[in-house]
Amino acid sequence: MSEKSNPSTVKLAGELKRIAIQNKAPIWKSVARMLEKSESRWAEVNVGKLEDYVKEHSVVIVPGKLLGDGDLKKKLTVSAFRFSMPAKKKILDAGGAILSLPELVEKHPKGSGVLIIR
């Protein structure tokens, strides 16, 4: 049973699990499990970590909140459960893109090349 009570979050997690099975893409099942956790247990990642650990032009999902501490010079495509405004600005200023989770799944249904950063 899911810890979430928000109907849209529960629906999204269910959809991710369905897509995982349909596309044989276990990454989406993992993301669904992380999404189902209480928000207090979600990862909090700073953009500086993306700069340090991710290659230019990577596609990244943060299963939690992306925060704005640190510098980001790399052009990345990023999806997160939540973004701070400074994090969004740094991604866009570096020439990157921000995708919602459904948009990311639509573009990468098999999950290949998508990195989870926690």
Span 8-64, pLDDT tens digits: 888 999 999 999 999 999 999 999 999 999 888 999 999 999 999 999 999 999 999
- What CATH number corresponds to the domain at position 59? 3.100.10.10
Domain containing residue 105:
7-116
Distance CA 48, CA 59 (A): 16
Rounding to the nearest 10 degrees, give the CA dihedral for residues 14, 17, 18, 23: 160
| 53 domain residue, yes or no | yes
What tokens appear for 25 in the block? 């893409």
Report which residue type is found at 24. K
Q: Are 104 and 61 in contact (CB under 8 A)?
A: yes
Q: Across all residues in the chain, what is the average pLDDT?
A: 94
Structurally, the chain folds into a number of domains equal to 1
pLDDT at res. 1: 44
Percent of the chain with pLDDT over 70: 96
Alpha-carbon distances of 40 from 64, 85, 113, rounded to whole Å: 9, 19, 28
Span 98-117, mean pLDDT?
Answer: 96
Q: Identify the weakest region by mean pLDDT among 1-10, 42-51, 72-81, 106-115.
A: 1-10
| 2 domain residue, yes or no | no
Q: Are 55 and 71 in contact (CB under 8 A)?
A: no
Distance CA 45, CA 87 (A): 10
Model confidence pTM above 0.75: yes
| 14 domain residue, yes or no | yes
Distance CA 80, CA 116 (A): 10
| 80 domain residue, yes or no | yes
Q: For residue 6, what pLDDT band results from cuts at 50, 70 and 90?
A: confident
